Structure 1
Amino acid sequence: MSGPNRGASAPPPHVAVITLVAGRHRHLALQQSALARADRRPDSYVVATMDDPAAGAIAAGGSPAATVVPVAVPLPGRLPLAAARNAGARRALALGADVLVFLDVDCVPGRESVGRYAEAAADGLLLCGTVAYLPPPPVGGYRLARLPELAAPHPGRPAPRPGRLLRGGDPDLFWSLSFALTAATWRRIGGFCEEYTGYSGEDTDFARLAHRAGVDLCWLGGAPAYHQHHPVEDPPVGHLDDILRNGALFRRRWGWWPMEGWLRAFARRGLVRFDPATGAWEATHAPARP
């Protein structure tokens, strides 16, 4: 599969949507409902469940029914996000996928998103659609038809108009909430580094791997995802240990620290310090967070 124009006689590509889940069952159910109503439904829907058999039951009983891939969590509290994405991709490829579409379980695709990803997919491209962060749901929950009215695309990423593809994107802006690529491009990159566990780092590393492999990061218009609301910390103090551990791993692999905005915010709170002698960020013995 070299691009969207494969000839009139060529069959349409087999598109697999892949998501990961550990909790957030209502988010999973709404994503599944959106896929059932999509203009272009996925040929395969693969849900990697991280020590969450209840999510597997929801996914397998929904419409479209999912192929469930159970993934063990070896270390309590440290979800193997990179390993789960790789496991989901392996199953999708075994099912015959030509195009892999990754959606965070919190993300609800627009009606046209899967089809737009399928049309734009070409070898050598890493496609990123827009993501809009939704406000808390109204009484009775979100209505799929109204999601575009509730939030604009995140201002920190390019948002091309529908039908446009912006090439030459900054790999350091990649995020794994919503992206797509061909099976050949996935194999070329080699998947996610499974040394990352817990929160953060693995998606920035993946973008670096893609860049090293000569894969072009592209921002795609017309493939929106709507991120369902859930409480967050800013900065994410509850994930401080993961950020330090995964940040140090990234530095060993690539020579610099990612997530420095969060690290500086932690430093202002007295939770971490930068050691110029070692070039490392370290936890301090500051008082516990409020």
Structure 2
Amino acid sequence: MKTPFSVVTIVKGRKEQLSNLIKSIERASYLPQEMVIVWMAPPSDDSLICSDFFPIIHRFAASEPLPIPKARNRGFESCKTDKFIYLDVDCICPETLLEEMTGMLSTGKVVTANVTHLSEQVSDIEEVYLQQQVTPKITAPERVPFVSFDTTIFGITRRDFERVGGFDLDYNGFGIGDMDFATRCSQAGLYLLNTGRHVYKQFHVHYNPPVNHLCDIVANAEVFRQKWGAYPSSEIFTQFVKLGLINEDFEKVGMRVIKLLSDEELSTYLVNEPKSPEHANTYRQSA
């Protein structure tokens, strides 16, 4: 017997990506009992979107510019089922993905999937079309370390989410909070199972590296160090050092911002159009 499950996503803008995500879930071989969308913006016509295939519950977390941890927690806390699948708003689900993930999800583990980055913007979400654009990575299920955790897609039970305590609200804005969540899952004795399935991730305009979130990332990295005694492992820190944005000796003396980029300098790191899948893999950005 299949167990009911809920899908959670958070969004600020990205209406087209959200529409594609919902359409892909509507085509799933096993439909969720509900989808919870948390808007990091005030109510609007966009937040009235509904589906003929499952209820969509709209929630809001708009008290801050980018309240990612609060929005994620609000989404999970609004679910009526005991199995949660979190999907980044950029995701497009293959037909059997949700059925396979929920089938492998049980208390004591977090499940995830391979992320296949699309190398162009798409309006057609048909699997045949998407496979013509990029070759999906499909592997055998395997237990992987939590350093591999990525909030693009993951599943967790209500019991384990409450046991871990959700996402820590001490992290503000963008970055690092997902690494803290993964660390607490590991400390709680959970393990991370890569189901070997895959999800497509749509392109969106972003900064590479995420220099627009420099101050958030540095502040959140300090919260992580104070909590866990060391900085998390992140290629972003190496990139910031190379750009002269943070001090090179941060692991010894603490991390600090030593340069802020002008608007003109920021624009040089803005990625306005899709490039290669390899390029897409150099960043992870949610919401």
Q: Which amino acid aligns with 1:57?
A: L
Moved >6 Å (runs of 4+): none
Instruction: Return the TM-score normalized by structure 2.
Output: 0.85
Question: Does the 8 Å CA contact 2:36/2:78 hold for their aligned counterparts?
Answer: yes
Q: Which residue of 1 aligns with 2:272?
A: none
Question: Does the 8 Å CA contact 2:2/2:103 hold for their aligned counterparts?
Answer: no
Q: Offset at 1:63?
A: 4.8
Q: Which residue of 1 aligns with 2:48?
A: 57
1:207 aligned onto 2:196: no
Q: Which residue of 2 aligns with 1:166?
A: 142
Question: Does the 8 Å CA contact 1:270/1:286 hold for their aligned counterparts?
Answer: no
Question: Does the 8 Å CA contact 1:189/1:210 hold for their aligned counterparts?
Answer: yes
In structure 2, C-alpha distance between the alignment counterparts of 1:240 and 1:210, rounded to whole Å = 26
In structure 1, C-alpha distance between the alignment counterparts of 2:152 and 2:187, rounded to whole Å = 21
1:125 aligned onto 2:105: no
Residue deviations 1:92-140, cap 9 Å, x none? 0xx2x121000000111111111011110111011011111101225xx
Question: Does the 8 Å CA contact 1:80/1:196 hold for their aligned counterparts?
Answer: no
**Match among 114, 120, 124 for residue 136 of structure 1:** 120
Q: Secondary structure at the match of 2:207?
A: coil
Q: How much identity, in percent, do the aligned residues show?
A: 26
The 1:62–1:242 alpha-carbon spacing in structure 2 relative to 1, beyond 3 Å, is farther
Question: Does the 8 Å CA contact 1:124/1:216 hold for their aligned counterparts?
Answer: yes
In structure 2, C-alpha distance between the alignment counterparts of 1:228 and 1:219, rounded to whole Å = 20
In structure 2, C-alpha distance between the alignment counterparts of 1:51 and 1:33, rounded to whole Å = 22
1:89 aligned onto 2:76: yes
Q: Which residue of 2 aligns with 1:26?
A: 16
Q: Which residue of 1 aligns with 2:284?
A: none
Q: Secondary structure at the match of 1:35?
A: helix
1:280 aligned onto 2:267: no
Task: State how many pairs are aligned.
Answer: 262
The 1:165–1:281 alpha-carbon spacing in structure 2 relative to 1, beyond 3 Å, is same
The 1:215–1:236 alpha-carbon spacing in structure 2 relative to 1, beyond 3 Å, is same
Q: Which runs of 5+ in 2 are unaligned?
A: 269-287
In structure 2, C-alpha distance between the alignment counterparts of 1:286 and 1:191, rounded to whole Å = 32
Instruction: Return the TM-score normalized by structure 1.
Output: 0.84
Question: Does the 8 Å CA contact 1:201/1:247 hold for their aligned counterparts?
Answer: yes
Q: Which amino acid aligns with 1:183?
A: R
Q: Secondary structure at the match of 2:59?
A: strand
Q: Which residue of 1 aligns with 2:165?
A: 190
**Match among 223, 229, 233 for residue 203 of structure 2:** 229
Q: Which runs of 5+ in 1 are unaligned?
A: 1-10, 154-158
After TM superposition, the structure 1 stretch with the greater mean CA deviation from structure 2, 228-237 or 245-254, is 228-237
Question: Does the 8 Å CA contact 1:128/1:178 hold for their aligned counterparts?
Answer: yes
In structure 2, C-alpha distance between the alignment counterparts of 1:225 and 1:277, rounded to whole Å = 35
1:241 aligned onto 2:224: no
Give the superposed CA RMSD: 2.0
Q: Secondary structure at the match of 1:53?
A: coil
Q: Which amino acid aligns with 1:71?
A: A
In structure 2, C-alpha distance between the alignment counterparts of 1:277 and 1:258, rounded to whole Å = 10
Q: Offset at 1:61?
A: 5.5
